[in-house]
Amino acid sequence: MKKFFKSTAFKILLAIALVLLAAIAAAASAADGTTPVSKVTSFVFSPLQKASSYLVDKLDGFKGSFVSSSTYRDRISELESEVADYQSKLVDYEKLKKQVEAYEKFLEVKEKNPDFKFVAGTVIGRDSADTFGSFVLNCGSNDGVKVNDPVISGEYLIGIVNEVTPTSCVVLSVTDPKVNAAAYEIRTGEMGYTETTSKLALNGLLKLTGLTKDTSVAVGGIVCTSGVGGIYPRGLIIGTVTAVSKEEGNISYYAEVKPEVDPGDVQDAFVITEFEGKN
């Protein structure tokens, strides 16, 4: 028994008892109506309660932050949807604007050429493998379109119909090596015909050939269809002269011509199905 009172375990138990007695005495000295035991419990566990409250507050804050982030994500999603809708409307507006411009130019051409008969078409396809800029219009034989009908954008010649189905047609651009037209330069009246090479076509150019060494055609001149041959009506603008050069191995000259309209930019066009002098 004496050994127990001298042991380490007894000393630890004694220390705990003294701490509890001190806590009871401190609690009893406060006159707030609570029992000593409850005061001891409060004294011992108060730090734990404070820590617990702190953790709960933090968790509540985290939960609020989580809900707030979810709300932000929903709002961002709504805004992105609205932006996409506005962008779609803007694209439709730009398409409509260009279509109106095309029809305004068409009316001008129609007033100047009452003998022309037209079919309107919208570009519905392009051949990415064709470096010369061919495209497909949504009008065909059901609308009166035929092979070799000229295709215009405003007063500018942009190509010729090469293939026709009942509801569509393939148009070769004026820079395609397979396309040529009788033409003249409006200032000098000099005649020739347009053609191109693969090299020129890849640069978006064609040439007015058949000029003499005494040609007066100069840079800036306007080249138009002459109407000779009955494939194209007279007076459609093909393009502007960018250079005049001598043919290799030949005594004749030619003028490099840049088309006024890039076929890659065409969205709406008109096929001329009838005109005075058509072959």
Mean pLDDT for 240-264 is 92
pLDDT of 101 reads 72
Q: Which two tokens mark 118?
A: 């037209």
pLDDT confidence band for 31 (50 / 70 / 90)? very low
Q: Among 93, 116, 105, 78, which residue's Cα sits nearest to residue 227?
A: 116
- Residue 203 to residues 130, 136, 175, 176, Cα–Cα distance (Å): 14, 22, 9, 11
Domain spans, the chain: 1-112, 120-274
Q: What pLDDT is stored for residue 239 in this prediction?
A: 96
Residue 52 has pLDDT above 60, yes or no: no
Using alpha carbons, select from 191, 231, 221 the residue that is nearest to residue 209. 191
Q: Is the pLDDT of residue 54 over 50?
A: yes
d(CA 170, CA 157): 15
| Superfamily for domain range 120-274 | Rod shape-determining protein MreC, domain 2 (2.40.10.350)
In this predicted structure, the answer to whether residue 237 has a pLDDT above a threshold of 90 is yes
Cα 158 from Cα 156, distance rounded (Å): 6
What is the share, in percent, of the chain residues with pLDDT greater than 90?
A: 49
Lowest mean pLDDT among 80-94, 142-156, 201-215: 80-94
Name the average pLDDT for the chain: 81
Identify the helix (H) or strand (E) that includes residue 3: helix 2-6
Taking the CA atoms of the chain, what radius of gyration do you get in angstroms? 45
Question: Of residues 127 and 8, which shows the higher confidence score?
Answer: 127
